Amino acid sequence: MRTTLTLDDDVAIELKRVCARRGVRFKQVVNQALRAGLRALQEPEIGERGPYTTPPVLLGRPTYPDLDNVAELLAVAEGDEHR
């Protein structure tokens, strides 16, 4: 399909840089950029996806049942002579 497209100056400059770097024609770069942009536009935006949730993982029984009592924890880990 042949059409006329008006580009902003900064967009045209970037497209020409890509053409020079890749050694391809302007038409090819424009089509590649439009395809990539259209794919990105079809993906849901961050707000539409909902909040991120971390799935729960069963880690098994804890090694030490009570971590609040440091003296008891040291006694279990290092023996009664930890002092």
Instruction: Please state whether the predicted TM-score (pTM) of the whole model is above 0.75.
Output: no
Encode burial over 5-16: b for 16+ CB neighbours within 10 A, e otherwise. Answer: eeeeeeeeeebe
Q: What is the pLDDT of residue 16?
A: 95
* Average pLDDT value for residue range 24-53: 86
Continuous segment of H or E residues that includes residue 35: helix 26-42
